[in-house]
A and B are shown apart, each in its own frame.
Chain A
Amino acid sequence: MQKDEGPASEPTNELTRRELLERAAAAGLVLALPPVFGASGAGAARDFLGKPGGRFRFALSYDSPTGTFDPAREVIDADGCRRTNTFDTVMALTKDHRAQLRLASLVEPNKTGTVWTVRLRHGVTFHNGKDCTADDLIYSIRRILNPQTASGRRTFLAAVDPKRLRKRDKLTVEIALTRPNSDMPLALALTEVVQNGATYKSFKTHPIGTGPFMFVSWTPGRETLWKRNPNYWHAGQPKVDELELVVIQDNGARINALLSGQVNAIERIDPARVKELQRNPAVRVLIRRVNAMVPITMRLDRKPFTDARVRQAMRLIADRKQMVQSAFNGYATVANDLYGRGQPFYNNELPQREQDLDRAKSLLKKAGAKGLTFKLSTSDAVPGMSESATVFAEQAKKAGIKVILDKIPSDSYFGTRYPYSFGQSAWADNPLNQFYELGLLINSPFPETKWRKPSWDKHFRDAQATLNQHKKKQIYFDLQEVLWNQGGYLQWSDSQYLDAVQKSVRGISTHPQYPLGSYDFRTVTVR
């Protein structure tokens, strides 16, 4: 499927000429561009953007004493930051949610998609000097699959048969599946290769990976420090000598730290302050459209949402533009009740759903739900939740129904279960298939809407079973049409990550999973 047998020089963050121009424009710089980009254009462009060396210090909005380096046990964003810079995944996600080779030089299925061959790159070593081999990859996959590891990635690798992982040679592994899965490359983009024998405990004291940065010290909940991995397999990466994660919870203090130069970059700036920061010549605001969302959820197994007409009515009540405006100050994109806008299999042929109060009223009337009172569970757990709920409740009045807000303290809103018939959830950016696997299948771990339709499940598995991209896309479009007509999510927006960096910071990647270029700092420069 994907092949890269050449030396370790394949750029992971492809920077096209157009992107470079966009970035230059965003930076307000007039660049004297070299007339032609040759074969090594991307690399040259990066060098052009900044000099290597120095320390890159960035502030996240949250970290916790529960934080971890264990890539299989990631819970909070700061864990994602730690794993991304310390370890390498077999594949890497691109900004449009495709998988690209990273630690592997080859990832290839057999004709039926039931056996996948993964060959690791030559000459990759762990931070302690040991070679990264097939044994490490097999151990890493088995570790994720072991229920005792309590890994959230188990869902994506569920088709892998741990007993039939075969080492073909020093660097090559055959992964046999119990059913065909064409989404394996995306699952491998969430599979870090750890050292054979590494445990949750060893990650606490001495996390060792193959990643661009090496662990130096860690004060849980406060500070994480890395240094450059001088033997990194990717020539010319990483750029900076040191990497430091600090935590500043207060939104204002985070911006102040950036403005006073105490940190080089901050994540998640307050939407109300974007304009002010854009006027400041010392900093640059990064706005990234992603597939994160804070949707309203309706549970299909609880009345009155058992009736698809009620669910559709709710979706027709929403004035999405107004919700985006008041919840995010306009810094979000109106969504069409479907997850994953911009992804390869996103159904962009369905019309944008607009507010239609008359149709909503008549649907409610037909469903016998007229004059009902709805209790919407909300919270301040994630920005935008309670604000959008308040606006939605106002809009519902116009359709003649009453929505009462049940506000739950933010630290107890998301428990082990999601018990709300009518609530608000929060999702990070995921590839489309992974969102379905996590939330919409019969045995999904987060069945917030209790969608659970056997026929839909079967159809989804059909899509996974085919290696034909065209056929797969067709099935995905059908799956989404069903969701658009009957689903339990009222998805009114796609979020945007709002981050800010000092003018001197260059090379923040465009990956969408987390803020600040998915915290992937291998190409960042500060000079």
Chain B
Amino acid sequence: VIQPFGRLRAPLKGEPHRLLGYAVRRILAGFVTLFVVSIVVFMTTSLLPGDAAVAALGKGAQPELVKTVRHELGLDKPPVQRYADWLKGVAHGDFGKSILTDTPVRDLIGDRIVNSVILALVAGLLLIPLSLFLGATTAARADGLVDRSVMSSTLVAISLPEFVIGTILILLFAQKLHLLPPVSLYDVGVNPLSQPTKLVLPVLTLIAGSMAQTIRLVRAGVIEVSRSEYVQMARLKGVSGARLMRRHILRNALVPAIQVFALALQWMVGAIVVTELVFAYPGVGTALVQAVGARDLPVVQALALFISAVYITLNVVADLLVVFLTPRLRTG
């Protein structure tokens, strides 16, 4: 996922419009990937045993009934035609109707997507400054007490799956201290931000799982940069402390950190599925699990497409940011 920087140099020699051209190409490539993903999702979901008709009629339904319902749902059309119909709709911003509930997919998963995005955004917005701060602090006094305690605790967090972290947090904050609700049930149509206490534990779970990685990589970057010749030079010139860290080290360590954060946010997209389940949070994760169980292909495809779109967008944004923040990549 992280591309070597060298790749970017050739198309970007000097000219500012080259940057624009790169951006356009990068975004187009994103759409191509998305298209390929949609085919893969469609193919793999058709390989699943059973279909929406079977799921709707229940186990052991009589074969002739399954056939009737399959016809009603349009499942007897050839797969290529079903895929083409669906793709045509998506191109017009119409994700089709859920074959089972007969309601537009957008209505069905719209608020779920909003809920998940809120969860991820809050976690992401806390994750970035927190890991920059902790990464820089630990690197500044490498092998000190703070460094060692942060490193060892993040090592524990990194090796635990999200559902274990979630359970530990519930045990501590909900069952022992009675500070926070252990489940995040929201009524339909309620914005999660209006009941922020229910967001705390899921957000903490997501942060704990990803911060271990980001702190370590920021720390490594900072240490590497602080050993570089220009930092040595700055030191010799008398720059030190916070100013050295802010102006000379962190700024240069930031570029590789962007890719790290993009990676962490992408990891979060996957972790959110498990986290939502642990806290019964009404987001895309629970919706996806249900839709797969019910073989509701339009919903599965829309959700898969959304999740891949997030992945690809994060990648593109990270790549563009890197180029934007690195003068030598812009000018060649």
Contacts and interface: CB of A to CB of B under 8 A. Distances in A.
A and B: interacting chains: yes
Q: Name which of B49, B58, B62, B175 has the most chain A CB atoms within 10 A of its CB.
A: B58
Contact of B61 (A148, A150, A223, A247): A150
Binding site secondary structure of chain B: helix
Interface string B43-63: 000001110101111111111
The contact size tier of chain B is 35 or more
A250 interface: yes
A368 interface: no
B183 A262 contact: yes
Contacts of A246: 185
A416 B101 contact: no
Contact of A65 (B66, B100, B181): B100
B293 A64 contact: yes
Interface stretch (A214-222, A383-391, A511-519): A214-222
Contacts of A417: 60
A352 interface: no
Contacts of B63: 416
15 contacts: A63-B290, A65-B291, A75-B58, A148-B68, A150-B65, A220-B108, A248-B280, A256-B183, A257-B185, A260-B174, A260-B183, A414-B60, A416-B59, A416-B66, A446-B60
Given A65-B299, A66-B296, A257-B280, 14 more contacts: A65-B296, A221-B290, A223-B188, A253-B277, A256-B174, A256-B183, A262-B183, A411-B292, A414-B59, A414-B60, A415-B49, A415-B54, A416-B59, A446-B60
A259 interface: yes
A257 B188 contact: no
A249 interface: yes
The contact size tier of chain A is 35 or more
Given A150-B68, A246-B185, A248-B183, A66 B294 contact: yes
Contacts of B282: 222
Contacts of A247: 280
Nearest to A409: B49
A75 B57 contact: yes
A256 B170 contact: yes
Contacts of A414: 59-60
Interface of B: 48-50, 52, 54-66, 68-69, 98, 100-103, 108, 167, 170, 174-175, 181-183, 185, 187-188, 277-280, 282, 286-287, 289-294, 296, 299
A446 B100 CA distance: 25
Contact of A262 (B69, B101, B185, B289): B185
Given A65-B101, A257-B280, A248 B185 contact: yes
Contacts, number: 113
Contacts of B108: 65, 220
Contact of A253 (B57, B66, B280, B294): B280
Contacts of A262: 181, 183, 185
A263 B289 CA distance: 23
B182 A150 contact: no
A66 B49 contact: no
A256 B198 CA distance: 13
A98 interface: no
Contacts of B64: 147
B101 A220 contact: yes
Contacts of B54: 415-416
Interface in A192-228: 204, 217, 219-223
B331 to A, nearest CB: 53
B196 to A, nearest CB: 16
A64 B185 contact: no
Interface in A402-438: 411-412, 414-418
Contacts of A256: 170, 174-175, 182-183
A257 B182 contact: yes
Contacts of A223: 187-188
Nearest to A257: B183
A249 B183 contact: no
Contacts of B175: 256, 259
A352 to B, nearest CB: 30
Contact of A411 (B61, B181, B188, B293): B293
Nearest to B56: A66
A252 interface: yes
A400 interface: no
